[in-house]
Structure 1
Amino acid sequence: MKEKLRRHIEENISLSDEESRLIASYFSFEEYKKKDLLIRQGEYVQDCYFIVSGLLKLIYQDESGKEHIVSFAMENWWESDFSAYFTKSKAKMSLQCLEDTKVYALSLENYQKLIAKMPKMAYFFLEKSNSGNTAAQNRIISLLTLDAQEKYQQLFEQNPSLFQRVPKRLLASYLGVSRETLSRLQH
């Protein structure tokens, strides 16, 4: 399992075997079942997660109880309520497993120790952060400017596997359309 984390990191920086072992020592391996919550809205966020296997959804529940899907996260992605994680505050969102999931968890304390001990990991995390910010901005722009058909097409082109792994009602929620509209878009 740790080999998967190493390969992922080596997409951005090179690692010696010793560096790889050091990095791995800062992470804890965790397994979750479908429907388990890794983060609960309103509670403090302990970790950010590298997803080894499985699928999660990051959700915001509004005051009326309606669930809004912020993102889906799958293998080789990082996920958390990053605002709460980095500010040591209570989560505004929940992170829930849609499948049985295996992750490497990294506490903020270990994150800070790791980048202090190995500065090139700061570069790695900066690259991941930049990619995440770019994706978030692109999602906001698509929500503001694209019609339902265009949002559907964009999601299908970017993440075709979601259409096999995620129930239609969740895809519809993520796209901001009704389930009936999603069914029409699929034909």
Structure 2
Amino acid sequence: MHLIEEHPERNVIRVQLAQNVLLKGMTAQQMVELEPQLQVVDAPKGHWLLHQGVHEMEQYFILDGILKRVVSNPAGKQMILRFAAEGEMETSYAAWRLGTPAPYSVVGVTRTRVAKLPLRDWVAFIERHPALKQAFEYSVMHHMSDIMAHTITLHLLDAPGRVQRFMRKHADLFDRIPKKELASYLNLSAETLSRLKAKGKI
């Protein structure tokens, strides 16, 4: 884990931060204010950035790789709620605001690089910058809406329909996500996903 200033690839990281969907509208002065608070984490595939049930939460900006948001029941059965790739962010802001534990985990699907800071520090930062706070809260609500739509889709669409919907919304991720992970997200077996691909349904 490094501060950006200490990271050997700091110039690349600064470019990636500037391309982040949430941060690209920031002024140079805002970035100067935020950057010293960020830590860069280079994590292997399968690394758990956030554990369901914890109270200490962080804000993540994805620089490289793909993360998944996962919820588990007491028996250990998992459901993938969303994937997020470079240029996007991950957060548990709603839970932090409500004072409740993290309702899901955040895990690397691939090798990942993220810039992170404690949620309390991120919230203090956006409180000083109302336009950024508005954009961030809109993004959080958009993610929640997408997850709800996906959950409904699992019940209303057949297997080809679920896959085709994913392709419409996330075609760029199809070949980057391990098929076992993607099948789990779509509530299919890996064999069904392979069969649909072989039949040209994808």
Q: Which category describes the TM-score, using the shorter chain as reference length?
A: 0.7 to 0.9
Q: Which amino acid aligns with 1:86?
A: R
Q: How does 1:1-187 map to 2 (within 5 A)?
A: 1-8=13-20, 9=22, 13=25, 15-187=26-198
Runs of 4 or more, structure 1, over 6 Å off, are none
For the Cα contact (< 8 Å) 2:19–2:87, is it kept in 1?
Answer: no
Which whole-Å CA distance do the structure 2 matches of 1:184 and 1:20 have between them? 47
* Structure 2: stretches of 5+ with no match in the other structure: 1-12
Deviates more, 1:94-103 or 1:1-10: 1-10
CA RMSD of aligned residues (A): 2.1
SS at match of 2:31: helix
SS at match of 2:55: coil
Which whole-Å CA distance do the structure 2 matches of 1:10 and 1:82 have between them? 16
Q: Which amino acid aligns with 1:180?
A: E
Query: If the length of structure 2 is used for normalisation, what is the TM-score?
Result: 0.80
For the Cα contact (< 8 Å) 2:57–2:102, is it kept in 1?
Answer: no
Structure-2 change in CA distance of 1:127 and 1:92 (3 Å)? closer
What displacement does 1:179 show?
1.9
Query: If the length of structure 1 is used for normalisation, what is the TM-score?
Result: 0.86
